[in-house]
Amino acid sequence: MTEQLKMDEVQPRLLDETGQGAITRPMDRPEGALKVSGRATYAAEYKAANMAYGVMVRAAITRGSYTVDEASVKDMEGFLGVWTDHMIRNSAQGTMNTNPVQPGLNIQYFGQPIAVVAAETFEQARHIAHALRIDYTSEEGFEVDPETASQVDESVPVDQGDLDRAMADAAFTVDATYTTKPHNSAPMEPHASLAEWDGERLTLHGSYQMLKYNRNELADSLGMDAANVRILSPYVGGGFGSKLGIAPEAIGAAVAAKALKRPVRCVLARQQVFQMVVRRTETRQRLRLAADADGRLTGVGHDNWQSNLPDEQFAEPVTAATHFLYGGENRRNAQSVARLNRMASGSVRAPGEAVGMLALENAMDELAEATGIDPIELRIRNIPEIHPESGKQYSSRSLAQCLKEGAEAFGWQDRQAPKARREGEWFVGMGVASAARTNILMESKARVTLNPDGTALVETDMTDIGTGTYAILCQIAAEMLGLDPSKVTVMLGDTDLPPASGSGGSWGAASSGSSVFLGAKAIRARLAERLGCAPEALRLQDGVATGGNNRRPLAELMDGPLVEEGHIQPGSKSDEMAQASYGAHFAEVAVNSVTGEVRVRRTLSCMAAGRILNEKTAASQVHGGMVWGIGSALHEGVEHDHRTGHVVNDDLAEYHIPVHLDAPRHDVLFIEERDDHANPVQAKGIGELGISGAGAAVTNAIYNACGVRVRDYPATPDKIFPHL
Amino acid sequence: MRPFDYVRAETTSDALRADGRIIAGGTNLLDLMKLEVETPERLIDVTRLDLREIEAQENSLRIGALVPNSDLAADERVRRDYPVLSRALLAGASGQLRNKATTGGNLMQRTRCPYFYDTAQPCNKREPGTGCQAREGFNRILAILGTSDKCIATHPSDMAVAMRVLDARIEIESPSGETRLLTLDEFYLLPGDTPERETVLEPGELITAVHLPEPPKGRQAYRKVRDRASYAFALVSVGAAVNVEGGKITDAALAFGGLGPRPWRDAGVEEVLIGETPSAAVFDKAADVLLRDARGFGANDFKIPLTRRVLKAVLSELTGVAQ
Ligand SMILES: Cc1cc2nc3c(=O)[nH]c(=O)nc-3n(C[C@H](O)[C@H](O)[C@H](O)COP(=O)(O)OP(=O)(O)OC[C@H]3O[C@@H](n4cnc5c(N)ncnc54)[C@H](O)[C@@H]3O)c2cc1C
Ligand code: SF4
3-state secondary structure of B264: strand
Say if residue A26 is preceded by a cis peptide, omega within 30 of 0. no
In SS3 terms, A216-259 reads as HHHHHHHCCCHHHEEEECCCCCCCCCCCCCCCHHHHHHHHHHHH
Task: Quote the ipTM score.
Answer: 0.97
Q: Give the end of a domain, one of A260, A276, A292.
A: A276
Q: What average pLDDT does chain B have?
A: 97
Kindly state if the Cβ of B125 falls inside 6 Å of ligand 2: yes
Enumerate residues 6+ apart whose C-beta is below 8 A from A45: none
Q: Are residues A426 and A461 in the same domain?
A: no
Residue B136 CA to ligand 2 centre (angstroms): 11
Burial of A477 (0-12, 13-18, 19+ CB in 10 A): buried
* A401 lies in some domain: yes
Strand partners, B248: B245
pLDDT of B322 higher than 90:
no
The residue among A450, A474, A570, A457 whose CA lies nearest residue A522 is A450
Q: Are residues A228 and A122 in the same domain?
A: yes
* A162 lies in some domain: no
Say how far apart CA B273 and CA B218 lie, in whole Å.
14
* A301 lies in some domain: no
* Mean pLDDT value of segment B254-263: 98
The identity of residue B85, as a single letter, is L
- Interface check for B235 against chain A (CB to CB < 8 A): the answer is yes
Report CA A521 to chain centroid distance, whole Å. 29
Residue A135 CA to ligand 2 centre (angstroms): 26
* Pair A193, A205: CB distance under 8 Å: yes
Residue B115 CA, closest ligand 2 atom number: 5
The residue among A448, A466, A462, A585 whose CA lies nearest residue A516 is A448
Q: Are residues A527 and A580 in the same domain?
A: no
* A308 lies in some domain: no
Say how far apart CA A569 and CA A576 lie, in whole Å.
15
- Interface check for B112 against chain A (CB to CB < 8 A): the answer is yes
pLDDT of residue A448: 98
Ligand nearest to the CA of B119: 2
Q: Are residues A120 and A198 in the same domain?
A: yes
* A394 lies in some domain: yes
CB atoms within 10 A of CB B214: 12
Residue B111 CA, closest ligand 2 atom number: 3
* Mean pLDDT value of segment B31-53: 97
Q: Are residues A131 and A206 in the same domain?
A: yes
Please state the length of chain B: 323
Mutate to test the interface with B, among A56, A58, A181, A597 (most CBs of B within 10 A): A597
The residue among A89, A87, A82 whose CA lies nearest residue A129 is A82
Burial pattern B52-73, b for ≥16 Cβ within 10 A else e, equals: bebeeeeeebbbbbbbbbbbbb
pLDDT in tens, B185-204: 999 999 999 999 999 999 99
Low-confidence ranges of chain A (pLDDT < 70): none
Q: Are residues A581 and A621 in the same domain?
A: yes
Enumerate residues 6+ apart whose C-beta is below 8 A from A349: A183, A185, A240, A241, A280, A628, A688, A691
Q: Are residues A134 and A233 in the same domain?
A: yes
Ligand nearest to the CA of B297: 2
**Of residues A595, A639, A661, nearest to B230 (C-beta):** A661
Strand partners, A456: A450, A488
* A303 lies in some domain: no
Ligand nearest to the CA of B111: 2
Residue B122 CA, closest ligand 2 atom number: 5
Burial of A234 (0-12, 13-18, 19+ CB in 10 A): middle
pLDDT in tens, A597-646: 999 999 999 999 999 999 999 999 999 999 999 999 999 999 999 999 99
DSSP A535-548: GGG-EEETTEEEET
* Pair A380, A349: CB distance under 8 Å: no
Say how far apart CA A279 and CA A270 lie, in whole Å.
14
What's the farthest any 2 CA atoms get from each other in chain B?
A: 63
* Pair B30, B103: CB distance under 8 Å: no
Q: Are residues A641 and A582 in the same domain?
A: yes
- Interface check for B6 against chain A (CB to CB < 8 A): the answer is no
B contact residues 291-310, partner A, Cβ 8 Å cutoff: 302, 305-306, 309-310
* A158 lies in some domain: no
Burial pattern A397-436, b for ≥16 Cβ within 10 A else e, equals: bbbbbbbbbbbeebebeebeebbebeeeebbbbbbbbbbb
Say how far apart CA A382 and CA A482 lie, in whole Å.
44
- Sheet with A264-267, edge to edge strand ranges: A79-83, A113-119, A52-58, A264-267, A192-198, A201-206, A229-232
Domain membership of residue A542 as a residue range: 2-40+442-570
- Interface check for B230 against chain A (CB to CB < 8 A): the answer is yes
- Interface check for B317 against chain A (CB to CB < 8 A): the answer is no
Sign of CA dihedral B7, B12, B18, B23: positive
- Interface check for B118 against chain A (CB to CB < 8 A): the answer is yes
Q: Whose CA is nearest to atom 17 of ligand 1?
A: B106
Say how far apart CA A472 and CA A23 lie, in whole Å.
8
Q: B310, A653: Cβ pair inside 8 Å? A: no
pLDDT in tens, B116-129: 999 999 999 999 99
Q: Are residues A630 and A661 in the same domain?
A: yes
**Of residues B112, B229, B310, nearest to A661 (C-beta):** B229
Q: Are residues A248 and A369 in the same domain?
A: no
CB atoms within 10 A of CB A439: 29
- Sheet with A580-592, edge to edge strand ranges: A422-423, A426-438, A580-592, A598-608, A666-670
In SS3 terms, A366-425 reads as HHHHHHCCCHHHHHHHCCCCCCCCCCCEECCCCHHHHHHHHHHHHCHHHCCCCCCCEECC
Any idea what the CATH number is for the domain that residue A435 is in? 3.30.365.10
pLDDT of B100 higher than 80:
yes
* Mean pLDDT value of segment B33-62: 96
Q: Give the end of a domain, one of A507, A540, A570.
A: A570
**Of residues B138, B141, B228, nearest to A662 (C-beta):** B228
Q: Are residues A7 and A78 in the same domain?
A: no
Q: Are residues A79 and A24 in the same domain?
A: no
Q: A635, B119: Cβ pair inside 8 Å? A: no
Kindly state if the Cβ of B139 falls inside 6 Å of ligand 2: no
Residue A297 CA to ligand 1 centre (angstroms): 56
Kindly state if the Cβ of B151 falls inside 6 Å of ligand 2: yes
**Of residues B2, B112, B306, nearest to A653 (C-beta):** B112
Pairing mode of beta strands A2-7, A562-570: parallel
* Mean pLDDT value of segment B7-18: 92
Q: Which residue of B has its CA nearest to A58?
A: B120
The residues of A annotated with a catalytic role in the active site are 688
Q: Whose CA is nearest to atom 8 of ligand 2?
A: B123
* A65 lies in some domain: yes
Q: B230, A60: Cβ pair inside 8 Å? A: no
Enumerate residues 6+ apart whose C-beta is below 8 A from A253: A54, A116, A193, A194, A195, A204, A264, A265, A266
Enumerate residues 6+ apart whose C-beta is below 8 A from A260: A52, A80, A81, A118
| Banded model confidence at residue B59, pLDDT cuts 50, 70, 90 | confident
The identity of residue A700, as a single letter, is N
Q: Give the end of a domain, one of A570, A601, A634.
A: A570
Say how far apart CA A6 and CA A4 lie, in whole Å.
7
Q: How many folded domains does chain A comprise?
A: 3
> Which chain B residues are Cβ-neighbours of A723 within 8 angstroms?
none
pLDDT of residue A1: 73
Q: For ligand 1, which residues put their CB under 6 angstroms from it?
A: A 653; B 21-29, 31, 46, 65, 92-93, 97, 100-102, 104-106, 108-109, 156-159, 206-207, 233
Burial pattern A331-365, b for ≥16 Cβ within 10 A else e, equals: bbbbbbbbbbbbbbbbbbbbbbbbbbbbbbbbbbb
**Of residues A649, A662, A721, nearest to B309 (C-beta):** A721
* Pair B115, A650: CB distance under 8 Å: no
Please state the length of chain A: 724
